[in-house]
Amino acid sequence: MAVATASSAQVVTFKASDGQKVFAQLYSANKKSKGIILMFHQAGSNRSEYSPIATQVIKLGFDCLAVDQRSGGNMWNATNQTAAQYRQVNNYLSAYQDMEGALDWAKSRNYPKIIAWGSSYSASLVLRLMSEHPEIAAGLVFSPGEYFDQKDLVASWNRKVKSPVLFAFSKSEALNGGLKLYQSAGKSPRRSRDTMLANKEGIHGSSTLRQDRNPKGNSTYWTGVETFLRAVGK
């Protein structure tokens, strides 16, 4: 299959764990895939958050599935097709059902590895997904935090995760809870491969990798992401 671009990537649909229809964009690597990366967006956003990111990641040999979650919106001049089906705004936790559906979709296609990637609220939910599904080989979480009502809920998920995780924050996020969350990891031997990225020129969520949103600091984060993905892709 040819290298996917933002305009040619394939739109796919699947069912969330509650049976609702979910829309996503599949970007395919131009060689035998090392696995698939499930990409989940931040609040008010949609799968287009990953258009310029996924087209870089596939060069590392991973397919990418960028998902429209039901808790999202129309950033990037794009419509969140999953959220558009609902008459009322869904809360962050409701999107977890879409994330489980994406994982089921990937498992049904027998990828050799499945990696989960989240942005802001979905980064926190990736830690939940990994804690409940140890078959996920690794995670990348951009600006995770305690965004939910229950105190230290995300840290409790992080303690149960067995696979390596890359944490990425802006410098201010790291100082305001990010470092503490990173340090809450459990004692699984594989967590010794955890990585934390924090830079004064970083911005919130996966947008920190976008040239159009973070022209000065994106390259530092890209270096960390590429190093991490090469390691977990072996």
Cα 53 to chain centroid, rounded: 11
Q: Record the pTM.
A: 0.95
5 within domain boundaries: no
CATH of the domain at 224: 3.40.50.1820
Q: Is the pLDDT of residue 2 over 90?
A: no
C-alpha 165, offset from chain centre: 11
pLDDT in tens, 146-172: 999 999 999 999 999 999 999 999 999
The confidence score (pLDDT) of residue 188 equals: 93
Is residue 2 one of the residues assigned to a domain? Answer: no
Mean pLDDT of 179-194: 96
CA 20 – CA 16 distance, rounded (Å): 5
Q: In the chain, how many domains are there?
A: 1
Residue 1 covered by a domain: no
Q: What percent of the chain has pLDDT over 70?
A: 97
Q: 4 in a domain, yes or no?
A: no
Domain with 152 in it: 10-232
Q: What is the mean pLDDT of residues 24-41?
A: 93
Per-residue pLDDT, averaged over 19-28, amounts to: 97
pLDDT tens column, 44-80: 999 999 999 999 999 999 999 999 999 999 999 999 9
3 is a domain residue: no
228: pLDDT strictly greater than 50 = yes
Residue whose structure tokens are 């010794």 = 192
Residue 8 pLDDT class (50, 70, 90 cuts): low
| Confidence (pLDDT) at 3 | 37
Task: Give residue 32's pLDDT.
Answer: 82
